[in-house]
Every structure is written in C-alpha cells, then in structure tokens.
Amino acid sequence: MPVTYPDCPELPSLPAEIECSVIGDSCLGIECCVDLDFKVTTCSIRIHQFLDPCNFWLAVGFGAWSLNITLFTYQWGTEEVEMLGNAIEITFSIDKLDDDKEFLVNLALKLDIEGDITELGILSNTRFPIPLCNTNATFTLPGGGSIDGFVRALGDNVGQAAVAVVLRQLGLEQYISNQQCSLQPTDLDDTSCPSGFQIPAIDRILQCSIEETCLGIKCCVNLNFKIDELMLKTWLILDPCNFTISIGFEKLSVDIPLFSYEWGTEEVLEVSEFLIIRYYLCEYILCNAYEQVKINPVDTSGIRKGTGYLRCE
C-alpha cells in the first residue's frame, strides 16, 4: 500500500564488518550481512528490520530468529532490547516525527563472548520518510471492527498508532494535534466581564479561559474515545466590531461573518460524522450561548455557557 519513493535515503557510514542495503517500496526496510567473530569461527549472519506503517507492523530479525510487533502496542521512541541466548543483544527504536514527516530509526547489535564485547551500530538516528498510505483502502479494526473490540484485543498495550487509527476511523485524525491542551487560569479582574460572571468548568472534563474582552472563550475538553482520553482545544470568539465569529476545534478553524448570521439561530459545525459543534448567539447579549462538543457513539461531554456584553462603542 505505501507509495514508492524514487530515491531511498543513503545509509550512514558502517563498520567494515557490516554491509547493508535499504529494501522495500517505501524505503523503510534495511537488510544487512554482519560478520561476527565467535572466537572459534567467524560467521556472516543476516540481520534485518522492516517498518510498515500502513499495515501497522514492525519486523526485526537475526539469522533464523525474527520478531513481529504490531505498532498498535508500540510506543514511538521506546528502546527495545532483545537477548538471543547469552551472547547477542539487539537494540532498536523507532520514533515518529510528525512535523518533519520522518521516522527516526536506531538499530544496534552487541556480541559478548565471555566478557569480550563487540558493539556494532547499524543505524543511529537515521531518518526515513513517512510514506503516504492508501486512504481509500478498506481497513477493519482488529477485534471485530468495533472500537470496543479493538480495545479488548489490545488490553493494556495501547500505542500511539492505535489511538491514531481510531481517530482515523472517526474522521478526526487530520484535525487533532499531538499535544495535549492546557490553559492558564483567567483572572476575571483583568477582563471586561460583568460582576458575577463565572468561568465554566467541569472537574477533569472541562477547563476554560475567557478573553480579556469577555467576548470569547477557549476551553480544553477531555473527550473519551474509549481507546484513550484526550484533552483537546476548542474555542468560540465573537468580534462584533469586525463582524466575525471564530469557532474552532484543534486544527479546524472557521470564521463566520456576522452579516450572514441570524441572531439567536442555532448553527451546526460538523467536524466529522462523529463530532459536531452547535452554537448560537443573541444580539447585544450572549444569552445562554454555548458550544457543545458531541462525540457519537463514543462519548458526550463538554458544555459551555456564559453571559457577557457585546456592544461596540
């Protein structure tokens, strides 16, 4: 399924005992012949590592030994160590650099013959491009196709790739960033909010801050996607002097002209089939205006209410 890259990245300089080549259509595999001195004899042994992010698996092998890992249970950047008998140690890790659209790969081999140690670094922070996957291909979640079944199949071993694939199933992956939302608390004395105004909050679910003009609200809302809980950013800001409403969820931002908005009319912003945002405003006073974030069928949480003055001088 990966798209073929015309040129694979060059491998770093390798020790004389190692000869490697990059393999696979997406340039995410490496195959090496390693000469190992076992004191009584020298053997040339094949070692390989192959990453398939589109089908969510990682394979590592040494001679006849091989290990297949599902990316659904792997935590990006975690160093894994595998012992083969009492003499050979294989260390590997793969990190996913979303901003750079690259994988950061490490692979090393250590041979210990009665305290005589040989360490061979094969890949050290080597970068490989993240391939594009066929988004039109049919994909069924392991565990029967449901999120509940997927969670049960994974047990306690949930990796970032598993969370990403659930978000993809919900049509939300393109909107959600990798950073958890956090906000500084608002001191109402530093705002134009009327006395008695209260910042909406729900313990462990909703944390909000108010704009200095008291005409906008930004919130971190904890949404339960069954496979994981994510603290995500959402906001609604009214600018009556420039006649706009700004409403957003994570990477999605929409500016709505007030000229086309009918005061008091409930509007719906459909982020995906499973997440909708509803809002309405009344002229001059933000009367029970709210933004509701609804996840269906996953969970429902996050309602914000408030009052404030919108009059321009």
Give the DSSP letter string of 200-221: -EETTTEEEEE-TTSSEEEEEE
Q: Which of 10-19, 73-82, 183-192, 287-296 has the lowest mean pLDDT?
A: 287-296
Residue 244 lies in a domain: yes
Per-residue pLDDT of 112-130, as tens digits, reads: 888 888 888 888 888 888 8
The kind and range of the H/E element at 48 are strand 42-52
Give the DSSP letter string of 210-279: E-TTSSEEEEEEEEE-SS-EEEEEEEEEEETTTTEEEEEETTEEEEEEGGG--TT--EEEEEETTEEEEE
For the cut 50, the answer to whether the pLDDT of residue 313 exceeds it is: no
Neighbours of 117 (CB within 10 A): 11
Q: Which domain holds residue 277?
A: 188-306
Sign of CA dihedral 54, 55, 60, 63: negative
200 and 299 part of one domain: yes
The pLDDT value recorded for residue 293 is 46
The pLDDT value recorded for residue 134 is 60
Query: C-alpha 69: how far from its chain's center?
Result: 19
The pLDDT value recorded for residue 294 is 46
Domain stop point among 111, 129, 147: 129
Output the pTM of the full model: 0.58
Region 73-102 average pLDDT? 88
Give the DSSP letter string of 94-157: EEEETTTTEEEEEEEEEEEETTEEEEEEEEEEEEEEPPP--TTS----TTTSSHHHHHHHHTT-
For the cut 60, the answer to whether the pLDDT of residue 308 exceeds it is: no
The pLDDT value recorded for residue 184 is 81
Neighbours of 204 (CB within 10 A): 8
205 and 301 part of one domain: yes
Q: Which of 27-41, 49-63, 189-203 has the lowest mean pLDDT?
A: 189-203
Please choose, from the candidates 56, 54, 24, the residue with its C-alpha nearest in 3D space to the C-alpha of residue 135: 54
Instruction: Return d(Cα 58, Cα 68) in angstroms, integer.
Output: 6
CB 310 within 8 A of CB 238: yes
116 and 193 part of one domain: no
Region 263-269 average pLDDT? 85
The pLDDT value recorded for residue 280 is 80
Residue 144 lies in a domain: no
CATH classification of the domain holding 63: 2.40.128
For the cut 50, the answer to whether the pLDDT of residue 267 exceeds it is: yes
119 and 225 part of one domain: no
Task: Name the domain count of the chain.
Answer: 2
118 and 218 part of one domain: no
For the cut 90, the answer to whether the pLDDT of residue 205 exceeds it is: no
The pLDDT value recorded for residue 81 is 93
Please choose, from the candidates 31, 8, 6, the residue with its C-alpha nearest in 3D space to the C-alpha of residue 128: 8
Mean pLDDT of the chain: 78
The pLDDT value recorded for residue 80 is 92
Domain stop point among 114, 129, 144: 129
The pLDDT value recorded for residue 200 is 77
Residue 159 lies in a domain: no
Residue 261 lies in a domain: yes
For the cut 60, the answer to whether the pLDDT of residue 222 exceeds it is: yes
Domain stop point among 79, 113, 129: 129
For the cut 80, the answer to whether the pLDDT of residue 192 exceeds it is: no
Residue 152 lies in a domain: no
Q: Which of 97-106, 133-142, 258-267 has the lowest mean pLDDT?
A: 133-142
Per-residue pLDDT of 279-306, as tens digits, reads: 887 765 444 444 444 444 433 333 333 3
Residue 134 lies in a domain: no
Q: Exposed e or buried b for every residue in 86-97, given b needs 16+ CB within 10 A?
A: eebbbbbbbebe
Residue 178 lies in a domain: no
The pLDDT value recorded for residue 4 is 35
Q: What pLDDT band is residue 82 in, cutting at 50, 70 and 90? A: very high
Q: pLDDT exceeding 70 applies to what percent of the chain?
A: 83
Instruction: Return d(Cα 61, Cα 64) in angstroms, integer.
Output: 7
Residue 25 lies in a domain: yes
Q: What pLDDT band is residue 138 in, cutting at 50, 70 and 90? A: low
106 and 208 part of one domain: no
Neighbours of 273 (CB within 10 A): 10
Give rounded-to-5 percent helix, strand, coil for the chain.
10, 45, 45
Please choose, from the candidates 285, 230, 241, the residue with its C-alpha nearest in 3D space to the C-alpha of residue 263: 285
Q: Residue length, the chain?
A: 313
